[in-house]
Structure 1
Amino acid sequence: MSSAAPQPTAGLPLFYRDPQPLNAAQHAGWRLADGDAAFAAQTPFVPVVVGELAAAARCYPIVFAGGDGQPVAVLGLEQRNLFVAEGRWAEGVYAPAYVRRYPFGFIRTVNPDGFALAIDAGSERVLREGEGGVALFEDGQPSALTKQALQFCDAFQADAAATRAFAEALTASGLLIDRRADATLPDGRKLGLDGFRIVDAEKFAALPDETVVDWHRKGWLALVHFHLASLERFSVLLDRQNAVAAVSQDHVSEPQDGAAAKPKTKKA
């Protein structure tokens, strides 16, 4: 969606490198080690679903991807996630469900409407042998961990279907318009984020009464308002970007061993 977007493995969802449907025969000895959010450190955006849009909108700009109109939380202005540092998600900031479900996920089955619980075998947390971590299966049956993952991914999948309906309605109503965000950092570098869409507030206000009533009953009016309010969060992203740049500059300015420290001057 942007010039800063990470490049996922071809044909695979963001983050996933080798998703495999879980089964007791093939993965009987597999275990899952503790992990952190380092896998998302270079990701400037992630998808969000309607059930979490209100919570996500309080922390990030929520925009819509070009094409299918998928709601997306913008996490950074460059090739990095401004909310992950040393593998930890920023304290007090909502972590999207797409991030929290990893390395689990759903994968389509032969049945067009069917999905099976999968795990990313490419994740560093996946242990194929040994006694570390937590078992995925016990006595040939899914462990408590795997059952919890199944419940979480099942709820996420249901929300994803509701999200597609919402995005399709926005697109069909002609409410989504292309936008670009530009920013200039204190060091003079210019950043640009494009390839996304937002709701046209004027067109939204002019929706027919019957559409307003229908969308109100479905909860979609509130979702649009959350989205529009979240656009103010672009200023928060810029502030975080400036803070990161300042810390990086301080590290560059630190004297090397044996080198004399240069005095710092303050700008008015």
Structure 2
Amino acid sequence: MNTQNPESESPAPNGGAEANPWPLFYREPRVLSSIEHAGWRVRPTGAGFAAASNSVPVVIGEFAAASRNYPLVFAGPEHTPLAVLGVEAGRNRFVNDGAWAENAYVPAYVRRYPFVFVQTGEPDGYVLAIDAGADAVIRSGEEGNPLFEDGQASELTRQALQFCDTFTREDQATRLFAAALAEQGLLIERSANIAFADGRRSSVDGFHVVDAERFAALPDAVIVDWHRKGWLALVHFHLASLGRFNDLLAP
């Protein structure tokens, strides 16, 4: 998804974050080692790292919760589902003074940071890594929670491992869902020209949505199959979420 303003921080594959070879937010991922990172700790720092991102990836397991707060769209060559967090480049409307809006759902992609899975050379092989460039990471001292204790993974690290494992499995299922939408020809490109009350204008493009008419005309066999997989509900959550675009225009 592109916003036609300078310094866009969109995580979409064709967005402003393209210059960074790592995923959105991550600057220096390093595979965790009980030897190299024995003294490293992680402190709570809020969500300031996401303040300049106007969209973030979501997985299908959070469509229901995310659709209550954000428009859900699809972007990039793999039609990655995104929660739209703002319609201005470089601005996440849900982060203020480093804190996520109290009553808004926080996407799992944001909650897992600064941890991430890094794929190994083996099929379906992943190892836990951490963004060494994150403000939350402390390389020495007693502030924050340890990554390792007595040479073993701490509770924090074990929880991060479980969270990233769940997220990765959800991401794989999400890719199958998005690919099925594209295969059925349901995704259509959309753009939005936005005029704010104070006279400012912004343009959002490069995203796709499900065409409701094509969705309603799916063959019966596909409908039955998608119902069993839970995909019909996901499409309805997506379509309902598009009404949230108006919420992003509020002062």
Q: Under TM normalisation by the shorter chain, which class is it? A: over 0.9
Q: Does 1:26 align with 2:53?
A: no
List aligned pairs for 1:161-200, cutoff 5 A: 161-200=172-211
Tell me by how many angstroms 1:133 deviates. Answer: 0.9
Tell me the equivalent position of 1:113.
124
Inter-partner Cα distance in structure 1 for 2:76 and 2:32 = 33
Q: Does 1:63 align with 2:73?
A: yes
SS of the aligned residue for 1:46 comes to strand
Q: Deviations for 1:172-217, whole angstroms, at most 9, x for unmatched residues? A: 1110000001211122221111000000000000000000000000
Q: What percentage of aligned pairs have identical amino acids?
A: 59
Q: Does 1:42 align with 2:57?
A: no
1:11 is aligned, of 21, 38, 56, to 21
1:227 is aligned, of 238, 241, 247, to 238
Write out the 4+ residue segments of structure 1 that deviate beyond 3 Å after TM superposition. Answer: none
Q: Does 1:54 align with 2:52?
A: no
2:143 is aligned, of 121, 132, 144, to 132
Q: Match of 1:31, as an amino acid?
A: R
List aligned pairs for 1:83-162, cutoff 5 A: 83-162=94-173
Inter-partner Cα distance in structure 2 for 1:92 and 1:190 = 28
Which structure has the bigger radius of gyration?
Answer: 1
Which blocks of at least 5 consecutive residues in structure 1 are unaligned?
244-268
**Superposed CA RMSD:** 1.0
Residues 192-201 or 62-71, more deviating: 62-71
The total of aligned residue pairs comes to: 240
SS of the aligned residue for 2:179 comes to helix
SS of the aligned residue for 1:210 comes to helix
Return the TM-score normalized by structure 1. 0.88
SS of the aligned residue for 2:2 comes to coil
